[in-house]
């Protein structure tokens, strides 16, 4: 049994399932972008810059604009892979760049949130944001480290796609005046992201025992 089998009957993450389901939407857009002479890594960097700008708005307490930018960058994140596939140039380096920029994007967002929570002296949210950021990074690190040792660890409750589905709407709702939305969203990620990291560690432990 692999790590994904331990996570459930469907071996694909929700992100992978959604990419398959929305292939008919992503591919035409990807073709247009390729026709404009853009490269997959260009779109990856656009997503990074967009999230960084969104983080700046969040740092200033503007949850509506910051949240909308973060929300909009979600679909952008799926386009680079579609473009690489259509070009027939999907590469390990491209996947590496995408993974690294994803981590930077998340940390920019959490960094912006920490700044605004420090300014507004919301200690509980500062702590929750720290654990959300730590859990988010650990989920990806455990997967990368496991794969470097020839294990598989990409299952669990909260992959990046699910984290985006929770955080981005929570930020937008906060911008519209739903004051507890950010607290709830960040708290969910703080808990479930770390649970996901532990799930992956457990899956790797099971594989290591079978290997030995």
> What residues are labeled active site?
102
Q: How far apart are CA 139 and CA 160, in angstroms?
A: 9
CB 91 within 8 A of CB 84: yes
CA distances from 198 to 125, 169, 205 (A): 23, 26, 10
Residue with tokens 């993974």: 99
Q: How far apart are CA 141 and CA 37, in angstroms?
A: 33
CA atoms within 13 A on the CB side of 200: 28
- For helices 23-35 and 14-21, what crossing angle results, to 10°? 70
CA distances from 182 to 63, 105, 165, 169, 171 (A): 9, 18, 13, 9, 6
Residue with tokens 């386009």: 79
Dihedral angle sign, alpha carbons of residues 90, 96, 97, 99: positive
CB 152 within 8 A of CB 4: yes
């Amino acid at each position: 049994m692999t790590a994904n089998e331990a996570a459930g009957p469907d071996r694909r993450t929700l992100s992978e399932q959604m990419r398959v389901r929305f292939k008919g939407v992503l591919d035409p857009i990807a073709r247009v972008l390729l026709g404009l002479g853009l490269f997959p890594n260009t779109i990856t960097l656009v997503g990074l810059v967009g999230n960084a700008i969104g983080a700046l708005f969040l740092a200033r307490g503007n949850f509506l604009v910051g949240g909308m930018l973060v929300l909009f960058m979600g679909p952008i994140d799926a386009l680079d892979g579609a473009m690489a596939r259509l070009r027939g140039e999907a590469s390990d380096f491209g996947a590496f760049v995408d993974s690294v920029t994803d981590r930077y994007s998340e940390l920019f967002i959490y960094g912006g949130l920490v700044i605004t929570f420090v300014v507004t002296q919301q200690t509980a949210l500062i702590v929750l944001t720290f654990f959300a950021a730590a859990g988010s990074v650990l989920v990806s690190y455990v997967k990368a480290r496991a794969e470097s040792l020839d294990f598989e660890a990409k299952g669990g409750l909260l992959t990046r796609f699910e984290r985006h589905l929770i955080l981005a709407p929570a930020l937008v709702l906060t911008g519209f005046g739903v004051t507890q939305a950010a607290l709830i969203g960040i708290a969910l990620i703080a808990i479930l992201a770390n649970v996901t990291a532990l799930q992956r560690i457990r899956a790797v432990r099971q594989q290591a025992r079978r290997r030995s």
